[in-house]
Amino acid sequence: MCGRYATTQTSASLNQAFEVDLVNSFVELEADYNMAPTKLAPILIGRAPEEASADRPLRELLTAKWGLIPSWAKDQSIGNRMINARSETIAEKPAFKKAFGKRRALIPADGYYEWYAREPIDGKKTPKQPFYITPKDGSILAIAGLYEFWKNREDDEWVISYTIITTTAEDELGHLHDRMPLFVEPKGYDAWLDPAPHPTQELLELLIPAAPGRLDAFPVSTEVNNVRNNGPELIVPLPPE
């Protein structure tokens, strides 16, 4: 599961890193060291190019609500249960099937958090220890996701929402949690963001776990447990015990 992450990039840095073509006029990015479900976060989506001769879809940067709301949902509260989508079932599960077919996204992140369940002491449960997981080289993660448009019947406003795709955690990180986000490498951006139909297997092959040794994981303060806490101190490694 991926339930919290950090995203501190500016529009300019994301434009450069992902070669963005279109920037939604409503995009206002602020550093968020404790991105949580229901918050607005930057995502990248693909738009069909205006010219048929174009060699790739247009890349658009916009903000969306974390927690996918299917177009058929009666109210947006369902998104609270749709923050993650299992890669094993995204092509068949009704909540994700249509989005997987033509509304795929990249979610830029500096790193993400997982909580390690420690062994009981004297038979008593101990608090889980949060870990921050981030690229060792300081690069930006391109997390694979899906997005949807949902119309609020009360005010006729459209809500854009997204979910993060997860898989079984690699051995190095599996001791922290049995699930982890999937990523897309730069060479796969065009196909993943392309709204045109692609064979299911071809799309699934674009989703990869982080290469062994690429990510660093270290314990951080339990201050991250409270979503109201939000600052660079949340991603500072704890001193060795």
Q: Report the C-alpha gap between 74 and 150 in whole angstroms.
A: 10
* Residue 226 burial by Cβ neighbours in a 10 Å radius (0-12, 13-18, 19+): exposed
Name every residue whose Cβ is closer than 8 Å to that of residue 12 and which is 6 or more positions away in sequence: none
Catalytic residue among 19, 88, 92, 114: 114
- Among 2, 19, 50, 233, the one annotated catalytic: 2
In angstroms, the CA 206 to CA 196 distance is: 15
What is the bridge-based pairing of β-strands 158-168 and 58-66?
Answer: parallel
Please, where are the H alpha helices in 77-217?
A: 94-102, 171-174, 189-193, 200-204
2 carries an active-site annotation = yes
d(CA 173, CA 212): 9
Instruction: Please tell me the distance from the alpha carbon of residue 45 to that of residue 64, in angstroms, as a whole number.
Output: 11
Asked if 114 is an active-site residue, the reply is yes
Q: What torsion, rounded to 10 degrees, do the Cα atoms 219, 225, 230, 233 define?
A: -20
Give dist(CA 224, CA 130) in Å, integer. Answer: 8
Catalytic positions: 2, 114
